[in-house]
């Protein structure tokens, strides 16, 4: 069942990229100031986590299992998610999306992998070592694609922050699920999402009041436009919540050194496929090579569990 859970999670994570792109294409314009883009991004995070949290609260009958250990883990993951959302906005305004994705996915793969080997006595086999090296190489190839954008020392410093933050997000999730006596997965996700709502609500409200006090108007929108955006957020929440649920469910029994590289490689492949199917974005030559290497590396990690 673990591999079924991972498959559902990977499909969900890949669909998230499509839904984020759809939402951003509707509400974010390249001429917008960064503060307004940040305001919209924090609002999306707040709304997304609110819907996701309510869904899991409903599933749990509005009764959550709460422990100090799980609450601290949920708080840690919520803080990291909020930081990633904020830093990610700045990173994307200063450099290429491919480099941002490289650091984010590489951190989410390597740090949980190394933590699993170092702290949870998970096996380190030759196929997994080769697969790790291949995944690392595959995540470098998108950087070789020719694209616009400016790169600065600040940009790469922030990318390093994303690398560490996304990796620690995975480590905390693994620690939560692998520790005996933790709360159930549904309660944990609900706690985490509600904390994210509170954090992003504060950030969004600050930016909103700041903009209104300066008499800076947002773009006028029609009710139908708002309704469609609301539907996108709900769909995003369902996909996001489902992916997170099965991802954490698999983490309770599956080695981190196997789970996170598979999620990384699988998401890369399916996200590229979704981009082509829904947005007609054909991967370039180097990106295609990277995807192929990632797919082979994912297979090696699966074989590594049995060798």
pLDDT value of residue 30: 57
pLDDT at 77 over 90: yes
pLDDT at 273 over 90: no
Residue 268: count other Cβ atoms within 10 Å of its Cβ. Answer: 29
Answer whether 77's CB lies under 8 Å from 192's CB: yes
Answer whether 272's CB lies under 8 Å from 291's CB: yes
- Tell me: the pLDDT tens digits for 168-210? 998 998 888 777 777 887 888 889 999 999 999 998 999 888 8
- Tell me: the pLDDT tens digits for 135-145? 788 777 776 76
| Distance (Å) of CA 206 to CA 47, 50, 200, 202 | 16, 18, 10, 6
- Tell me: the pLDDT tens digits for 230-270? 888 888 888 888 887 888 778 777 776 677 677 877 777 78
Answer whether 42's CB lies under 8 Å from 179's CB: no
Dihedral class, residue 280 (left if φ above 0, else alpha if ψ from -120 to 50, else beta): left
pLDDT value of residue 145: 65
Give 150's pLDDT tier (boundaries 50, 70, 90): very low
Domain range annotation of the chain: 2-304
Separation CA 219–CA 142 (nearest Å) = 34
Separation CA 149–CA 290 (nearest Å) = 21
3-state secondary structure of 68: helix
The answer for residues whose C-beta is within 8 angstroms of residue 306's C-beta and 6 or more apart is none
- Tell me: the pLDDT tens digits for 48-69? 889 888 888 888 888 888 888 8
Residue 42: count other Cβ atoms within 10 Å of its Cβ. Answer: 24
Answer whether 13's CB lies under 8 Å from 267's CB: yes
* pTM exceeds cut of 0.85: no
Helix/strand/coil percent split, the chain, to 5 = 80, 0, 20
In total, the chain counts a number of residues equal to 307
């Amino acid at each position: 069942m673990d591999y079924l859970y991972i498959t559902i999670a990977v499909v969900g994570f890949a669909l998230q990229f499509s839904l984020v792109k759809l939402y951003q294409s509707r509400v974010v314009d390249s001429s917008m100031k960064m503060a307004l883009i940040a305001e919209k991004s924090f609002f999306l995070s707040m709304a997304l986590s609110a819907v996701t949290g309510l869904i899991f609260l409903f599933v749990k009958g509005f009764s959550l299992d709460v422990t100090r250990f799980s609450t601290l883990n949920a708080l840690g993951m919520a803080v990291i998610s909020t930081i990633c959302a904020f830093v990610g906005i700045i990173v994307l305004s200063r450099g290429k999306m491919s480099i941002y994705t490289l650091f984010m996915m590489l951190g989410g793969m390597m740090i949980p992998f190394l933590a699993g080997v170092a702290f949870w006595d998970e096996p380190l086999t030759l196929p997994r070592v080769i697969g790790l090296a291949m995944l690392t190489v595959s995540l470098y190839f998108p950087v070789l694609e020719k694209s616009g954008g400016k790169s600065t020392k600040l940009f790469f410093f922030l990318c390093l922050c994303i690398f560490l933050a996304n990796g620690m997000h995975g480590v905390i999730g693994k620690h939560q699920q692998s520790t005996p006596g933790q709360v159930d997965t549904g309660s944990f996700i609900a706690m985490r999402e509600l904390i994210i709502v509170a954090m992003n609500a504060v950030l969004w409200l600050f930016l909103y009041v700041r903009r209104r006090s300066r008499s800076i108007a947002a773009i006028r929108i029609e009710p139908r436009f708002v309704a469609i955006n609301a539907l996108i957020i709900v769909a995003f929440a369902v996909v996001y919540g489902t992916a997170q649920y099965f991802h954490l469910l698999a983490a309770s029994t599956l080695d981190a050194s196997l789970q996170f590289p598979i999620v990384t490689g699988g998401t890369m492949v399916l996200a590229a496929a979704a981009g082509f199917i829904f947005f007609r974005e054909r991967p370039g030559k180097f990106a295609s090579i990277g995807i192929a290497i990632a797919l082979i590396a994912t297979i090696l990690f699966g074989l590594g569990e049995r060798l």
